[in-house]
């Protein structure tokens, strides 16, 4: 019969062995933000492009659209995609948004845009990049359509994070605004800055070693649209539109901006012969 004093250590040893065995058999847990994208699923961008190409357009002329919705007085969230109406503009299928512009707004005024990533993973996400055309009271363009340039910004909240853009309304004849995505926009990209260098793992979504890349534009997605407010104005002004050029360093920049006392840039140069003068 076993001594009780020997049973306790034996149970502890067996328990430790089971735990160790379990640890060897368990899979290593990887945080969700470091997991690689699922490569077994179909490309979401190609699926979205196929859906749009197969859709039957409802509108081909600017007068065919409904402009009953007023432009929001501050950016609001809109989602276009499966289930939304499709237009054929200049031979390109596109989802769209149509608005009536404010009648009493003082010219010029700015309209804010923010596109959100379509998915959880940056590598497999895309953006709905807008094109804007303004129309007069007869639904005729007041000028050429403009592809909105999107610039990335990562803020402290969802409201201040995304791909931002702006459009300035100068025409007194403009009554309506149509937002769609041109062929150039749908095939374009937006610069996106990341910092994967902190992780030495293939689980960083195979981003390149420079820490930056571009996000593809797509046919659908989430877009915030409305009159510019202070929050969006700051986000637009602080956004990053491309990789910064490499400078000469902080010291060189300061030296050129604020010449040092011993710099040769001063107009009042000490007289080398000052020490030889005297009484």
**What pLDDT digit, counting tens, does each position of 211-241 carry?**
557 899 999 999 999 999 999 999 999 999 8
Which region among 26-40, 95-109, 201-215, 246-260 has the lowest average model confidence (pLDDT)? 26-40
Domain positions in the chain: 44-196+206-238
Residue of 192 and 207 predicted with greater confidence: 192
Instruction: Determine the pLDDT at residue 22.
Output: 45
**Alpha-carbon distances, residue 212 vs 155, 166, 192, 276 (angstroms):** 17, 23, 6, 61
Residue of 212 and 124 predicted with greater confidence: 124
**What pLDDT digit, counting tens, does each position of 261-276 carry?**
555 555 444 454 444 4
Question: 3-state SS of 53-120?
Answer: HHCCCCECCHHHCCCCCECCCCCEEEEECCCCCEEEECCEEEECEEEECCCCCCCCEEEEEEECCCCC
Phi, psi of 164, rounded to the nearest 5 degrees? -100, 150
Mean pLDDT of the chain: 78
Q: Is 239:124 a contact under the CB 8 Å cutoff?
A: no
Distance in angstroms (rounded) separating the CA atoms of residues 199 and 201: 6
Q: Alpha-carbon dihedral of residues 170, 172, 173, 174, nearest 10 degrees?
A: 50
Instruction: Determine the pLDDT at residue 138.
Output: 97
Residue of 246 and 141 predicted with greater confidence: 141
Q: Alpha-carbon dihedral of residues 211, 216, 222, 224, nearest 10 degrees?
A: 70
């Amino acid at each position: 019969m076993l001594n009780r004093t020997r049973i306790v250590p034996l149970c502890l040893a067996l328990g430790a062995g089971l735990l160790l065995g379990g640890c060897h058999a368990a899979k290593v847990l990887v945080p969700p933000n470091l997991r690689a994208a699922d490569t077994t699923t179909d490309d979401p961008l190609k699926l979205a492009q196929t859906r749009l190409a197969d859709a039957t357009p409802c509108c081909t002329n600017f007068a065919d659209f409904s402009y009953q919705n007023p432009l929001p007085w501050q950016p609001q969230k809109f989602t276009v995609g499966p289930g939304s109406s499709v237009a054929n503009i200049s031979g390109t299928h596109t989802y769209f948004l149509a608005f009536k512009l404010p009648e009493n707004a003082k010219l010029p005024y700015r309209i804010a845009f923010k596109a959100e990533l379509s998915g959880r993973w940056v590598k497999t996400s895309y953006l709905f990049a807008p094109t804007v055309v303004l129309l007069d009271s007869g639904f005729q363009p007041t000028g050429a359509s403009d592809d909105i340039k999107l610039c990335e910004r990562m803020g402290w909240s969802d409201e201040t994070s995304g791909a931002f853009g702006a459009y300035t309304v100068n025409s007194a004849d403009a009554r309506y605004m149509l937002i769609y995505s041109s062929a150039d926009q749908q095939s374009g990209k937006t610069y996106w800055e990341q910092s994967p260098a902190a992780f030495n793992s293939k689980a960083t979504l195979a981003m390149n070693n420079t820490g930056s890349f571009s996000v593809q534009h797509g046919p659908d997605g989430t877009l915030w649209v409305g009159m510019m407010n202070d929050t969006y104005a700051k986000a637009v002004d602080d956004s990053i539109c491309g990789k910064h050029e490499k400078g000469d360093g902080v010291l060189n920049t300061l030296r050129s901006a604020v010449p040092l006392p011993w710099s040769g840039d001063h107009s009042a140069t000490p007289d080398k012969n000052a020490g030889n003068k005297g009484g």
